[in-house]
Amino acid sequence: MDFNKHSIRLVQNCPVCNRQYQENKVQILDEAGNSFLAYMTCSFCWSNIIVRVISLPQGLVGSAILTDLFPDEVIKFGQSSSLQLDDILNVHSKLYDNSLITYLKNN
The 3-state secondary structure of the chain, one letter per residue: CCCCHHHHCCCCECCCCCCECCHHHEEEEEEECCEEEEEEECCCCCCEEEEEEEEECCEEEEEEEEECCCHHHHHHHHHCCCCCHHHHHHHHHHHHCCCHHHHHHHC
12: pLDDT strictly greater than 70: yes
Domain assignments of the chain as residue spans, ordered by start: 5-68
pLDDT, tens only, 50-87: 999 898 898 888 889 999 999 999 999 888 888 899 98
